Structures are given as C-alpha cells and as structure tokens.
Amino acid sequence: MDVSPRSRAFLLTIGLVAALAILSSTMSKNPALPLLADHLGADAVQIGLISAISPIPGILVSSFAGAYSDRKGREKVLTYSLIIFATAPFLYLFVNEAWQLIPVRFYHGFATAIFMPVAMAAVADRFDPAVRGQMLGTYSSFTMVGRFIAPFMGGLLLFVANFESVYLACAIAGVLALLMVFLIPWGIEEAHVKAKKFEGTMMQALSKVIRDKGIMITSGMEGCQYFAMGAFETFVPIYAQSIGFNALEIGIIMGIQVVSMLLAKPIMGRISDRKGRGPSISIGLLAGAAAIAFIPFVSSFVILCALSIAFGITVATVTASTSALVTELGGATAHGSSIGVLSSVMDIGHSVGPFLTGIIVTLYSFQFGFSIAACIMLVGAVIFWATVGRRHQRSHAV
C-alpha cells in the first residue's frame, strides 16, 4: 500500500522528536540511575523502588492522556509532555541523597506517560491498518534510536566524567525535543486520516475500551513484557557490576539490546501486518522468557551481549504487534484511548517489575529474580494465545 510523501514527512518529524525525548529520558536511567542510587548508598530493594517510581505516572495518567487527545487533539497534549522532558533533567543536579531520586523520578515519569500513547495514537491515526504495524514499528524505531544512544552515551559520560554530565546531556536533548515539536506537519489531507473524533465524553471513551476483553488481555501482555523489561533495565547493570564489568562495558551490554530492538521493530511490525498479531505476541513472549532466564547464569561479556540482543528482538516482536492490535480492536474513534490503556497496563508491569525483582534479588539471588520474570512472560504467552491470539489469528486468515 502506498504512503503519501506528506505522511512520510509527518512520520519522520514526529519520529525525530520522539528520538530526542526518549534519548533524554532513557539516559537519565540507563545505566545511570541504578548506579547513582548505589553510589548514594541505596540497597537492592531501594534501587528497585527508585526504578519503580517513574512508571507510576503512566499508570495514573496514560489512559486519560490518550482519551483526552481523542477529544482535544494530539498536538497540545504532546507539547505539555515535552515541557516535562525539558525541565526534569535539571532536578537530578540537586540530588545528594538516594531518597531524593523518588520525587524527581515521579515528576520525570509524567513525560513519557503522556507522550508515548499520544504520539503512537497520532501515528495510528495517519495510517491504514494494512500498514499500521509497519508504520508503528518504524515510529518505534525512532524511539529506539534514542534508547540506543542513551546507554552508550551515558556509560561513556560516566566513564570519562561524572553523573552531572549525564543529566546535563539529558537536559539538552529534552530542550531540543520541545523546540522540534513545533515543526511537526499536523495539517493533513482528509483522505489519509484513519481515525475519527470520539463524540462522547473522555470517561465514555475509556469505559468502552476497558470493557473490551481483547484490548485488556493484549494490554496485559504488554504488562508482562515490561515487567521483564523493568527487571532487565534495573538489575542487569547491577548484576554486571557485581561480576566485574565497568560502566562503559555495562553501557554496551544495555545499548546493544536497544540496537536489536531498533532494527527489528519495523520488520516485526511488517510480519505482524502480513501474518497476524497473535503469533508474534505469543512467540515473542516465549522467546523473551528464555533469553532473560539465562542472563544471571553467565559471566562472559560476549554471551551477555548475545542474550541482550536476543531479548531486544523478542521485545520488538511483542510490542510491534500489541499497539497495532489494540487500535484495531478499539476502532477508529479510540486510538488514543486504547493505546492509553495499553500504556497504563504497560507501566504497571514496568513499575512492579523492578520493585518485585529487587525484593527477590535481596532475599534470594539474581537467578531467582530473573526466573520469576521469565515465568510471568511464559504464563502470559499461554493465556494470550488461548483467549485472544488464536481467535484473532483465525479472523486475520479469513
């Protein structure tokens, strides 16, 4: 299916804004945040708690942000979120005790909580379902560029300078993202609009989505995936440090996972457009469970990099399909609401993951902590295929 040059320009510009915004937010936490908390004297449970704080705003507001943008438009809501991206990094410069990271991370969490569902809804609006998975995957790859650069840049800045330099770099990227939002070409030809304005209230929009079993189960799979992602982001750096790797090596291990996600997302989105969302989500969860389960049993830098790559590919496989599937299940008037609910459930997983893993690692071991994350993904894959995946696959085949 052909995509108009104007729509391609829209995707490129909003993708560049997303890349800068996600570079800023990711570098603030990966690998700097757990290392900063450790430097300030936090133990594993406290590190898990600090890492779990920033997804909480997503639990609270992502659904409402998506529904609000269904009613009021995407541009204004995105601008609000980018103001937070531009201001939050400066607050880290004033932190000198571990507990102070909690309010800073809470405020910073509102940025991605608002930005991600609304930006994804804007992309879903623009493209037909026949190419929506590919286009959402391509947009996500722009965010992956930011995620890719962040751990390498953050690790390098920590290696050659200090924590302050990391957060100043985050601030520069956030301010640039805010300036670039005004360059997004929002005006479009009506023929290319694949969404309609929801005419009811915001709460009616959310209620419609929440009552949809398929959307909620699919969102639950996103939650399972991000439970594991939260454990990975928070405790792979701590595990790697415990076995003797330096900050630069840790940055490489974390960054190479993002590279694999960046490259795989458009491909996996296109595969799900053609072959169906159900197999991609189920197979991705199963393969991801295997990858993360092995991580704390190895000490080789090369093998850790290989497992990081494998985990990144599986994350791309799952998330390229979940966002496209919920917009299809939600209908043309609920792109923001359906992706907002998906994002809220995702943030529940992303918040609970590091907190619960931190408790398990403290009481038992890294091996047991990562095994729990793997089991959650495994159970999720079975539940999804039995309830939604198989049924949706039959309709896709027809």
pLDDT at site 392: 60
Rounded to the nearest angstrom, the gap between the alpha carbon of residue 319 and the centroid of all alpha carbons in its chain is: 8
Radius of gyration of the chain (CA): 20
pLDDT at site 168: 97
Q: Could you read off the pLDDT of 341-369 as tens digits, one per residue?
A: 888 888 888 888 888 998 999 899 999 99
Q: Does residue 195 surpass a pLDDT of 60?
A: no
Match 């330099």 to its residue by tokens.
165
The 10 Å CB-count burial string (b at 16+, else e) for 130-139 is ebbbbbbbbb
Taking the whole predicted model, whether its pTM rises above 0.85 is answered as no
| Cα separations in angstroms, 222 against 92, 100, 110, 265, 342 | 29, 30, 19, 15, 7
Match 């209908």 to its residue by tokens.
331
Q: Does residue 121 surpass a pLDDT of 60?
A: yes
pLDDT at site 190: 42
**Residue 218: CA count within 13 A, CB half-sphere:** 36
Structure tokens at 163: 């924590």
Structure tokens at 381: 């894959």
Those residues with Cβ within 8 angstroms of residue 100's Cβ, 6 or more apart along the chain or in another chain = 94
Q: Does residue 193 surpass a pLDDT of 70?
A: no
pLDDT at site 137: 82
Q: Could you read off the pLDDT of 286-318 as tens digits, one per residue?
A: 999 999 999 999 999 999 999 999 999 999 999
- Shortest CA distance to 235 belongs to which of 10, 43, 40? 43
Q: In the chain, where are the structural domains located?
A: 5-182+203-393
Question: Angle at Cα 177 formed by Cα 142 and Cα 184, nearest 5°?
Answer: 75
Which of the 8 DSSP states describes residue 364?
A: S
Is residue 225 within 8 A of residue 232, CB to CB? The reply is no
Match 């992706």 to its residue by tokens.
339
Per-residue pLDDT averaged across 219-242, rounded? 91
Query: Could you give the CA distance from residue 353 to residue 30 in angstroms, rounded to a whole number?
Result: 16
- Shortest CA distance to 229 belongs to which of 92, 367, 384, 51? 51
- Shortest CA distance to 372 belongs to which of 261, 256, 287, 289? 289
pLDDT at site 18: 96
Query: Could you give the CA distance from residue 211 to residue 259 in angstroms, rounded to a whole number?
Result: 36
Phi, psi at 343, each rounded to 5°: -65, -35
5-182+203-393 maps to CATH 3.40.50.150: no
Those residues with Cβ within 8 angstroms of residue 322's Cβ, 6 or more apart along the chain or in another chain = 218, 219, 221, 222, 225, 277, 281, 342
Query: Could you give the CA distance from residue 147 to residue 144 in angstroms, rounded to a whole number?
Result: 5
Q: Does residue 252 surpass a pLDDT of 50?
A: yes
- Shortest CA distance to 136 belongs to which of 270, 261, 312, 23? 270
Peptide bond preceding 31: is omega within 30 degrees of 0, i.e. cis?
yes
Is residue 21 within 8 A of residue 89, CB to CB? The reply is no
Q: What number of other Cβ atoms are within 10 A of residue 96's Cβ?
A: 7
With the CA atoms of 13, 187, 130 and 208 taken in that order, what torsion angle do they form, in degrees rounded to the nearest 10? 110
